[in-house]
């Protein structure tokens, strides 16, 4: 590098001295009438001017060539530096941005997998909880982080596939501002009713709703949440009329359902299943396309009279757009290995998660498909954020 710099400076200095030496000759090149020069002097000055211009042009060509050489050198050096960053990754702690408060399911997943990443990659993994606006605050922060692999976003189906159709304008673009790493887990929901409601199947629920339109209500954890949109999709597919009662969070919604204040809810499995096991709620169906190993005896909504119905939340890891593919591949491999760890699988299954995995392309396709699906639900239900 020092040798290249010396060559550049020497050549540049020579070119500038050459130009400075001959610039003064331009004032003697006037050959038009009224200059006061004789024809012989005019010819001499014209020749001198042309010679100066040739030298000057040559000097400019040299300077341009040197500059091009320097640009090429710095470009090559930059490429080499980038290659070193990829080869050395990770060389410092990694941050996982969680768009919800500590203690929730996303936080649990991030910390569980973060421990395994620390062991496999040899660097600390820091959990950064940035809650608010249904995940938009954390997503926006992660999207604007340097694309070097040291900031990872734990994205949810809400932040990546639903929010773009609810918040205008959205401070990030899920499909343009992120590089998918891996689909980590899926999160089914259960259709649950208050234990006092006289229904024991989805068919009986549908009949109950039709004969009791004034009393039939469903609880949700808030406008625009999976519990809300899942119920609206059910209403659309069955032609049912059920009044929406939104709450600020799933715990409050389930609490009032247990107390008999509402009729039913599409509650995420980790929150609803313990209440079912305690006998305080009754589960009628699971919202996955196929029966789940978590509750194998429970039928799906689809097989219970609503063909094609599916409501599945999901959690995924993404990096800021522009992150080198080699780094994304290294992170995909590390997360994939963590998801196959026996301890991790037991803890996730026990918490109601279904393990996913796969390549980044699988996640990219899911985001596109889910975004189109929920856009139509939002339009049909005329969903608005308070």
- pLDDT tens string 265-277: 999 998 999 999 9
Q: How far apart are CA 374 and CA 380, in angstroms?
A: 10
Residue 385 confidence class, pLDDT cut points 50, 70, 90: confident
- 136 neighbors 171 (Cβ within 8 angstroms): yes
- Provide the pLDDT for residue 151: 98
Q: At what angle do helices 325-339 and 105-121 cross, to 10 degrees?
A: 110
- 234 neighbors 226 (Cβ within 8 angstroms): no
- H/E stretch holding 305 reads none
Other C-beta atoms closer than 10 Å to the C-beta of 32 total: 7
**Of 58, 80, 102, the domain-final residue:** 80
Look at 67 and 327; give whichever has higher pLDDT.
327
- 237 neighbors 377 (Cβ within 8 angstroms): no
Average pLDDT over residues 195-217: 94
Radius of gyration of the chain (CA): 33
Average pLDDT over residues 74-89: 66
- Provide the pLDDT for residue 386: 61
Residue 249 confidence class, pLDDT cut points 50, 70, 90: confident
Does the pLDDT at position 278 exceed 50?
yes
In CATH, what number is assigned to the domain containing residue 232?
A: 3.40.190.10
- Provide the pLDDT for residue 5: 46
Average pLDDT over residues 374-384: 92
E-assigned strand segments in the chain: 94-98, 125-129, 151-156, 178-194, 217-220, 243-246, 264-268, 281-286, 312-320, 354-355
- Provide the pLDDT for residue 86: 83
- Provide the pLDDT for residue 147: 97
Look at 385 and 364; give whichever has higher pLDDT.
364
Are 278 and 374 contained in the same domain? no
pLDDT tens digits for range 173-195: 999 999 999 999 999 999 999 99
Residue partners of 59: CB distance under 8 A and separation at least 6: 14, 15, 16, 18, 19
In a domain, 216, yes or no: yes
Residue 384 confidence class, pLDDT cut points 50, 70, 90: confident
In a domain, 351, yes or no: yes
In a domain, 41, yes or no: yes
CA distances from 246 to 124, 218, 228, 250 (A): 40, 8, 8, 10
Are 145 and 41 contained in the same domain? no
Are 244 and 169 contained in the same domain? no
Only one residue has tokens 């069955």, namely 238
**Of 13, 45, 80, the domain-final residue:** 80
Are 297 and 341 contained in the same domain? no
313, 317, 323, 329: CA torsion to nearest 10: -110
Phi, psi of 264 (to 5 degrees): -155, 170
In a domain, 386, yes or no: no
Are 201 and 286 contained in the same domain? yes
- Provide the pLDDT for residue 44: 52
- 29 neighbors 46 (Cβ within 8 angstroms): yes
In CATH, what number is assigned to the domain containing residue 354?
A: 3.40.190.150
**Ranges 29-33, 133-137, 253-257, 313-317: which has the least confidence:** 29-33
In a domain, 87, yes or no: no
Only one residue has tokens 């709703």, namely 209
In a domain, 206, yes or no: yes
pLDDT tens digits for range 330-376: 999 999 999 999 999 999 999 889 999 999 999 999 999 999 999 99
- Express as a percent the part of the chain with pLDDT over 90: 69
- 301 neighbors 191 (Cβ within 8 angstroms): yes
In a domain, 88, yes or no: no
In a domain, 176, yes or no: yes
| Beta bridge partners of residue 128, listed in sequence order | 97
Domain with 292, as residue range(s), is: 188-304
Phi, psi of 210 (to 5 degrees): -70, -30
Are 195 and 265 contained in the same domain? yes
- 157 neighbors 373 (Cβ within 8 angstroms): no
Look at 86 and 171; give whichever has higher pLDDT.
171
**Ranges 10-24, 160-174, 197-211: which has the least confidence:** 10-24
Are 140 and 203 contained in the same domain? no
Are 192 and 181 contained in the same domain? no
- Provide the pLDDT for residue 19: 47
Average pLDDT over residues 119-136: 95
- Provide the pLDDT for residue 37: 45
Average pLDDT over residues 230-238: 96
CA distances from 14 to 2, 18, 56, 146, 294 (A): 19, 6, 12, 41, 78
pTM metric for this prediction: 0.76
Residue partners of 368: CB distance under 8 A and separation at least 6: 175
pLDDT tens digits for range 16-64: 444 444 444 444 443 344 444 444 444 455 455 455 545 555 555 555 5
Are 132 and 170 contained in the same domain? yes
Are 194 and 275 contained in the same domain? yes
Q: ∠ at Cα 97 (251, 121), nearest 5°? A: 120
The DSSP output letter for 165 is G
CA distances from 87 to 71, 293, 324 (A): 24, 40, 11
**Of 254, 285, 304, the domain-final residue:** 304
Are 144 and 198 contained in the same domain? no
- Provide the pLDDT for residue 360: 98
Are 269 and 201 contained in the same domain? yes
Only one residue has tokens 């006998």, namely 279
Q: How far apart are CA 132 and CA 339, in angstroms?
A: 27
Number of domains in the chain: 3
- 62 neighbors 11 (Cβ within 8 angstroms): yes
């Amino acid at each position: 590098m020092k040798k290249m710099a010396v060559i550049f400076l020497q050549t540049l200095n020579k070119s500038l001295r050459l130009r400075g030496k001959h610039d003064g000759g331009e004032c003697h090149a006037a050959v038009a009438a009224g200059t006061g020069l004789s024809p012989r002097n005019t010819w001499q000055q014209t020749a001198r001017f042309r010679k100066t211009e040739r030298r000057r042009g040559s000097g400019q060509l040299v300077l341009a060539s040197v500059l091009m050489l320097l640009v090429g050198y710095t470009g090559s050096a930059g490429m080499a530096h980038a290659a070193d960053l990829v080869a050395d990754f990770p060389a410092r702690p990694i941050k996982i941005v969680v768009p919800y408060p500590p203690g929730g399911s996303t936080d649990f997943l991030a910390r569980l997998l973060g421990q395994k990443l620390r062991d496999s990659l040899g660097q600390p993994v820091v959990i950064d909880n940035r809650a608010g606006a249904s995940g938009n605050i954390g997503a926006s922060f992660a999207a604007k982080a340097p694309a070097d692999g040291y900031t990872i976003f734990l994205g949810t189906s809400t932040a990546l596939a639903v929010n773009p159709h609810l918040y205008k304008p959205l401070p990030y673009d899920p499909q343009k501002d992120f590089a998918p790493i891996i689909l980590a887990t899926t999160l089914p929901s259960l259709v649950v009713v208050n234990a006092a409601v006289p229904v024991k199947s989805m068919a009986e629920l549908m009949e109950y709703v039709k004969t009791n339109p004034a009393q039939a209500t469903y609880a949700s954890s808030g406008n625009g949440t999976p519990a809300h949109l899942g119920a609206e999709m059910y209403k659309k597919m069955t032609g049912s009329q059920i009044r929406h009662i939104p709450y600020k969070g799933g715990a409050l919604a389930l609490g009032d359902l247990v107390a008999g204040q509402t009729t039913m809810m599409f509650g995420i499995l980790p929150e609803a299943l313990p209440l079912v096991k305690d006998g305080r709620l009754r589960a009628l169906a699971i919202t996955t396309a196929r029966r789940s190993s978590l509750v194998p005896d429970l039928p799906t909504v689809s097989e219970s009279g609503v063909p094609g119905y599916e409501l599945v939340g999901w959690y995924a890891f993404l990096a800021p757009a522009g992150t080198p593919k080699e780094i994304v591949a290294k992170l995909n491999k590390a997360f994939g290995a963590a998801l196959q760890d026996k301890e991790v699988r037991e803890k996730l299954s026990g918490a109601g998660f279904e393990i996913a995995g796969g390549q980044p392309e699988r996640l990219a396709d899911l985001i596109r498909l889910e975004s189109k699906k929920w856009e139509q639900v939002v339009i049909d239900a005329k969903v608005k954020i308070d």
